[in-house]
Amino acid sequence: MSQRCFAVTKDALSRFKTISNPLAPASLAANEILLNIDKFAFTANNMTYAHAGGPPLNYWHFYDNLCGGEGLLQHESYVKKVNAVGIIPVWGFGTVTHSRNKHVTEGSRHYGFYPMASSIKYNPSKASAPSFTVAREDPELAAVYNTYLNTETDPFYSGSACENVMMVYRPLFLTSFFLDDYCASKFKSVDQVVLTSASSKTAFALAHQLKQRGVTVIGLTSERNLGFCESLGLYDSVYNYDNISDIQSNKTKTVVVDMAGSHDVNLAIDKHFGINIVENVGVGMTHNTVLFGNKSALSEHARAARTFFFAPAWIKRRIAEDATIMESAAASYIKFTATSDEKQWLEFNTTMTIEEVYAASESNSVNPNTGLITRVI
């Protein structure tokens, strides 16, 4: 048998190809397991992984070992081969087909952070009936991505009917939940929160959480997605990117949560809000131009107010501070997904090939109410 991997060119993300690797069950060593990757979601979040594939977040490092490569990359304590192509991690479900680990049973299904591939071999560093944990080659990768949860005991899992919702919403919602937690802990007296890329699922899940606390939430989006954002009922007001100057700004203490990562949008926000920006929290890169614009065009205040929110680091800190916080996250997730289902915020497309899914996502042409579910064949 062979493992088929969907790989993209790291410095030209529109280019992709399939890589085949030998992967025979008979080759499993003691403790190793082999899983078929049943299906996974692909969202704007995954494109952020690709845009942030290099240092300091190094999302390529999760599955670069499947790509071969040339040369060496020194990253502090980690030395590895550099590849021209890489595999974007995705959230999905896998079924254990072969196991030489006494704690991981064949036939069990696990939710987790997989490669875009047909199958995967792991050597768990820890394993029990509820979950197993993988030790990555790069020890500096965030540990939150390393645990694979058995569907029979996962508190987020309520049956096969929930799987598509879980693959799309769960990783995004956890980012949103902890972003809200971050805002609640840092900003006690702001007047409003402005969310860019307001049609993205991470943004409107955050808007849902903020509204639970009575925070005024303003959405920024493209003209194409304006109607969708307004229909959600989660934003107090929604503006397209050309109308940022219409937002109330005079003496209005504002936190910006930037999902878009657009240099032009950040310039417009800086020009309009000026010193009333308390913090501009960078999260996503659906537009992916913020890294490449002329930073000197931004005011000194805008440069000082810009921070980056890395969800795994904040989650790790908060779990250490509050051992019950994941229970709160699970309860909030169930409430959010129930509301989404009731109001039909999300529908699924499960018929597209991985090539079609990736091309649509890379070109940012997916409707905001659509969740893309696929697999590598």
Domain ranges across the chain: 2-154+346-374, 171-312
CA–CA separation, 50 vs 358, rounded Å? 12
Cβ–Cβ under 8 Å, residues 105 and 124: no
Beta bridge partners of 20: 4
Question: Residue 172: pLDDT band by 50, 70, 90 thresholds?
Answer: very high
Task: Please name the CATH architecture into which domain 2-154+346-374 falls.
Answer: Alpha-Beta Complex (3.90)
Cβ–Cβ under 8 Å, residues 50 and 207: no
- Tell me how crowded residue 125 is: count the other CB atoms within 10 A of its CB: 12
Q: Which residue has the tokens 């048998």?
A: 1
Question: Residue 288: pLDDT band by 50, 70, 90 thresholds?
Answer: low
Query: What is the three-class DSSP state of 120?
Result: strand
pTM across the whole model: 0.86
Helix ranges (DSSP H) in 250-324:
263-273, 300-305, 311-321
The answer, yes or no, to whether residue 10 has pLDDT greater than 60, is yes
Poorest-confidence range of 42-51, 176-185, 196-205?
42-51
Cβ–Cβ under 8 Å, residues 279 and 192: no
Helix (H) or strand (E) holding 339: helix 325-343
Q: Give the angle subtended at the CA of 271 by the CAs of 268 and 277, to the nearest 5°.
A: 95
For the chain, give the longest Cα–Cα distance.
68
**Average pLDDT for residues 313-338, to the nearest whole number?**
94
Which sign does the torsion angle of CA 10, 303, 364, 216 carry? positive
CA–CA separation, 240 vs 219, rounded Å? 8
Burial, 251: exposed, middle or buried (Cβ in 10 Å; 0-12, 13-18, 19+)?
exposed
Q: Which residue has the tokens 């005011």?
A: 299
Nearest one of 243, 310, 275 to 48, comparing CA atoms: 310
In the prediction, which pLDDT does 6 show?
96
| Interstrand relation of 119-122 and 33-42 (parallel, antiparallel or unpaired) | antiparallel
Q: For residue 270, give every residue at least 6 positions away whose Cβ sits within 8 Å of its Cβ, in sequence order, or none.
A: 277, 298, 299, 301, 302
Question: Residue 76: pLDDT band by 50, 70, 90 thresholds?
Answer: very low
| 171-312 and 2-154+346-374 share a CATH fold | no
CA–CA separation, 187 vs 253, rounded Å? 10
- Give Cα separations from 127 to 88, 133, 154 (angstroms): 25, 6, 15
Nearest one of 76, 190, 89 to 134, comparing CA atoms: 89
Give per-residue pLDDT as tens, 226-259.
999 999 999 999 999 999 999 988 778 999 999 9
Question: Is 171-312 assigned to CATH 3.40.50.720?
Answer: yes
The amino acid at 73:
L
60 is written with which tokens? 């390529």
